């Protein structure tokens, strides 16, 4: 009968749904001691589940970001107690920091691992991922295009770093940030110099201005002058007829020796008068350029501070020590390398949205599709099918 036919169709449909194989996304707890962020928040986990994935979280993976196991369970994510078990059947692994060699050993062949990864620096890990046929994708490599804006984790985290660097620097300084007129006399505003007017630098300018300081900014790219001035800061400019410092995709690049000489002379003059200097010249996958030598630090005012946002790749100041605070002749040099992790709630929320946007962009019919003809996917990938696909990394590996 017709009713019996409908029952049979319902049973077959239900069986098909129940037997559907979901791709598994695994979210491990970060193992770096200074990493408090998590790659997936309960909100982004819900988005990924809605997109057709099964999400599994390692126990306490989000606790340092104040997202707890019960929050993930509330959105139907599964909490797994063992990293070995978590990685066992994972199709996709989402991390903040690059996987360790031990974590790579736990990954199955064909696993896709997404993290903040600088492949030209982490050569041994690149080799290990290639040998195990792990597809490595880096949020560092996401192209800076209009379509990829939602995935731009470098910008979302740099925004936080620029904001927090001003607040951290103000704690180190021996002076007020704003102009104050008191019965005891007038207090002059602090002078803040920002080196680099990218995302971090522009946020630092805006924050320092909100706190009432006098702000100057320098960048090798003359086209950012308008942005700097729109935030109320003075643009310190090196006169040049060439396009020194202007790289592809909105990034800065290495400059000529002649330009560097002019730059050093100009920076030296302005640094000697500054109460706070924030350096942001971080070139992805490269050692950070030295902008402030020891001889320049020697002429800075006692009580002044350098916040070096390039400490992760060696620092823009010659005296910077990664994750240390150096006191050189009463000048503080703060080399905190992971400033976004000092604001783990919002940093995790933004990063999780970036990474979820990348995954959903790559998702077709509830499956992750590695379309290497796609500019965003190929641009973000550094290893795939047992090969190194990122040319600068490939050249470096072959050169070793």
Say whether 155 is catalytic.
Answer: yes
Say whether 157 is catalytic.
Answer: no
Say whether 385 is catalytic.
Answer: no
Report DSSP letters for 95-155, one per residue: -SSPPPHHHHHHSPTT-EEEE---TTT-HHHHHHHHHTT-EEEETTS---SSTTGGG-HHH
Say whether 8 is catalytic.
Answer: no
Quote the CA–CA distance of 101 and 225 in Å, as a whole number. 43
Quote the CA–CA distance of 245 and 89 in Å, as a whole number. 46
Which residue out of 69, 152, 219, 308 is catalytically annotated? Answer: 152
Picking from 251, 273, 241, the residue whose alpha carbon sits closest to that of residue 199 is 251
Which residue out of 115, 138, 155, 304 is catalytically annotated? Answer: 155
Which residue out of 144, 210, 268, 286 is catalytically annotated? Answer: 144
Picking from 37, 91, 50, 46, the residue whose alpha carbon sits closest to that of residue 73 is 46
Quote the CA–CA distance of 63 and 61 in Å, as a whole number. 6
Interior CA angle at 151 toward 291 and 26, to 5°?
110
The number of angstroms, rounded, from the C-alpha of 80 to the middle of its chain's C-alpha atoms is: 27
Other Cβ atoms within 10 Å of 170 Cβ, number: 21
Burial 282-300, CB ≥16 within 10 A → b, else e: bebbeebbbbbeeebbeeb
Quote the CA–CA distance of 144 and 315 in Å, as a whole number. 24
Which residue out of 14, 149, 230, 242 is catalytically annotated? Answer: 149
Say whether 251 is catalytic.
Answer: yes
Which residue out of 176, 251, 259, 361 is catalytically annotated? Answer: 251
Quote the CA–CA distance of 304 and 326 in Å, as a whole number. 12
Task: Report, as residue numbers or ranges, the catalytic residues.
Answer: 144, 149, 152, 155, 251
């Amino acid at each position: 009968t017709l009713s019996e036919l409908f029952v049979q169709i319902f049973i077959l449909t239900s069986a098909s749904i129940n037997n559907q194989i979901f791709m598994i996304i695994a979210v491990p707890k970060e193992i770096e001691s200074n990493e408090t962020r998590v790659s997936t928040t309960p909100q982004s986990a819900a988005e990924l589940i809605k997109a057709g994935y099964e999400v599994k979280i390692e126990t306490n993976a989000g606790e340092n970001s104040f997202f707890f196991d019960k929050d993930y369970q509330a959105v139907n994510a599964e909490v797994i107690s063992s990293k070995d078990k978590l990685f066992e059947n994972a199709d996709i692994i989402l991390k903040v920091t690059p996987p360790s060699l031990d974590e790579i050993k736990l990954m199955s062949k064909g696993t896709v691992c997404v993290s903040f990864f600088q492949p030209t620096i982490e050569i041994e890990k690149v080799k290990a991922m290639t040998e195990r046929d792990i597809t490595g994708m880096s949020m560092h490599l996401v192209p800076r295009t209009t379509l990829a804006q939602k995935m731009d984790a470098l910008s979302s985290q740099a925004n936080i770093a620029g904001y927090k660097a001003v607040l951290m620097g103000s704690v180190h300084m021996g002076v007020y940030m704003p102009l104050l007129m008191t019965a005891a006399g007038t207090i002059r505003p602090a002078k803040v110099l920002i080196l680099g007017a990218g995302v971090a630098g522009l946020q630092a300018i805006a924050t320092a201005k909100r706190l009432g300081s006098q702000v100057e900014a320098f960048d090798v790219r003359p086209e950012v002058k308008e942005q700097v001035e729109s935030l109320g800061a003075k643009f310190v400019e090196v006169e040049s007829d060439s396009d020194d410092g202007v790289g592809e995709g909105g990034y800065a690049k290495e400059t000529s020796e002649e330009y560097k000489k002019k730059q050093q002379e100009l920076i030296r003059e302005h640094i000697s008068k500054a109460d706070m200097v924030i350096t942001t010249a971080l070139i992805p996958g490269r050692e950070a350029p030295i902008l402030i030598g020891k001889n320049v630090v020697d002429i800075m005012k006692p009580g002044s501070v350098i916040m070096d946002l390039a400490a992760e790749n060696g620092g823009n100041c010659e005296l910077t020590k990664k994750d240390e605070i150096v006191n050189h002749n009463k000048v503080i040099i703060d080399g905190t390398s992971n400033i976004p992790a000092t604001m783990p709630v919002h940093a995790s929320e933004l990063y999780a949205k970036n990474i979820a946007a990348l995954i959903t962009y790559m998702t077709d019919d509830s499956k992750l599709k590695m379309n290497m003809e796609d500019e965003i996917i190929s641009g973000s990938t550094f290893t795939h099918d047992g090969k190194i696909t990122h040319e600068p990394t490939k050249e470096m590996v072959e050169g070793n």
